[in-house]
């Protein structure tokens, strides 16, 4: 009962209609039971229904990834592990399963980005948007408090040094928050769902195939044109992929 109350509250905070919270938990538990019983297709279907209801939860995507993995649907499994990682970037189970599933992808692409770019992306992906926000607001609160003490209570008027440090930390965290927001908005990624997906020179089936990618590989979406995505690979190659071949993370 207590769990239901918490879940309801969480759903409320996350914008999920309160009336559906109880149902969502029930569906989640049913899906888990189906998974335990080895009915992975049923489990996947139930987890998918939760996502359709608007539930955004690391465990739902993670479990769905597991359900697809057990059905040997590597692309979908990786797609949902990636989604779970976005919601819970430091979840050890998600990271383990994601790495394990990535190891089963038939091909690999050499990442030609420089070390700085890789490190920067790793840093941004290590926290969620809301976590960076909490950090920023935390420093901000200290900064406002120090100002309030000085302005209203005339306390700590000499603490300019502390305020400067707080200002720098706040600005750093704010920059990180903004960049994280931009990253979330602009760095759209997708996982290949087809066993062999073609990357073409143009956004139509008439255009020549530039290269073929295997199920589970990850690409970055640059832009969309009707049913086609212009994608880029970590090695710098770009091309167009048919929308149905990809699952957007």
User: Looking at 131-139, 192-200, 212-220, 226-234, which segment touches another protein (CB under 8 A)?
Assistant: 131-139
Q: Which has the closest alpha carbon to 101: 65, 125, 58?
A: 65
Q: List the one residue from 39, 42, 48, 88 that touches another protein (CB under 8 A).
A: 88
- For another protein, which residue of 39, 48, 53, 93 counts as binding (CB under 8 A)? 93
Q: Does 133 bind another protein (CB under 8 A)?
A: yes
Of 147, 160, 182, 235, which one interacts with another protein (CB under 8 A)? 147
Of residues 22, 42, 23, 21, the one with CA closest to residue 31: 42
Closest contact distance (angstroms) between CB of 202 and another protein is: 38
Per CB under 8 A, 134 contacts another protein? yes
Q: In whole angstroms, give the CA distance from residue 229 to residue 198.
A: 12
Least distance CB 214 / another protein (angstroms): 19
- The reply on whether position 201 binds another protein by CB under 8 A is no
CB 119, min distance to another protein, A: 24
Nearer to another protein, 69 or 240 (CB): 69
How far is residue 118's CA from residue 112's CA, in Å, rounded to a whole number? 10
CA distances from 121 to 12, 28, 49, 73, 173 (A): 31, 32, 32, 27, 16
**Identified binder of another protein from the candidate list 87, 167, 169, 214, rule CB under 8 A:** 87
Strand bridging mode 188-192 / 209-214 = unpaired
66 touches 84 (CB < 8 A): no
C-alpha angle with apex 20: 14 to 22, nearest 5 degrees? 100
Residue 82, Cβ density class (10 Å: 0-12 exposed, 13-18 middle, ≥19 buried):
buried
**Residue 46 binds another protein (CB under 8 A):** no
Work out whether 62 is an interface residue with another protein (CB under 8 A).
yes
State both tokens at 140.
Answer: 């901000």
Coil, strand or helix at 238: strand
Q: Is 19 in the site for another protein (CB under 8 A)?
A: no
List of residues contacting another protein (CB under 8 A): 3, 6-7, 9-11, 13-14, 25, 28, 32, 35, 57-60, 62-63, 66-67, 69, 87-88, 91, 93, 96-97, 100-101, 128, 130-131, 133-134, 137-138, 140-141, 143-145, 147-148, 151-152
């Amino acid at each position: 009962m207590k769990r239901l109350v918490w879940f309801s509250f969480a759903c409320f905070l996350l914008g999920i209609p309160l009336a559906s919270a109880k149902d969502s938990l029930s569906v989640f538990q049913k899906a888990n039971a189906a998974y335990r019983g080895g009915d992975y297709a049923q489990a996947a279907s139930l987890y998918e229904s939760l996502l359709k209801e608007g539930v955004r939860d690391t465990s739902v995507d993670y479990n769905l990834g597991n359900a697809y993995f057990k059905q040997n649907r590597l692309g979908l499994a990786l797609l949902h592990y990636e989604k779970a990682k976005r919601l819970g970037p430091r979840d050890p189970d998600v990271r383990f399963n994601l790495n394990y599933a990535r190891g089963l992808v038939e091909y690999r692409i050499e990442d030609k980005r420089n070390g700085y770019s890789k490190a920067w992306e790793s840093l941004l992906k290590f926290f969620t948007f809301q976590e960076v926000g909490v950090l920023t607001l935390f420093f901000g609160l200290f900064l406002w408090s120090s100002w309030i003490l000085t302005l209203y209570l005339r306390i700590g008027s000499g603490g300019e040094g502390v305020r400067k440090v707080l200002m720098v930390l706040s600005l750093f965290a704010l920059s990180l928050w903004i960049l994280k927001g931009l990253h979330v908005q602009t760095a759209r990624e997708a996982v290949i769902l087809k066993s062999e997906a073609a990357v073409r020179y143009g956004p139509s089936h008439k255009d020549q195939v530039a290269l073929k990618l295997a199920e589970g590989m990850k690409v970055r979406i640059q832009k969309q044109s009707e049913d086609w995505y212009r994608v880029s690979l970590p090695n710098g190659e770009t091309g167009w992929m048919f929308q149905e071949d990809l699952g957007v993370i």
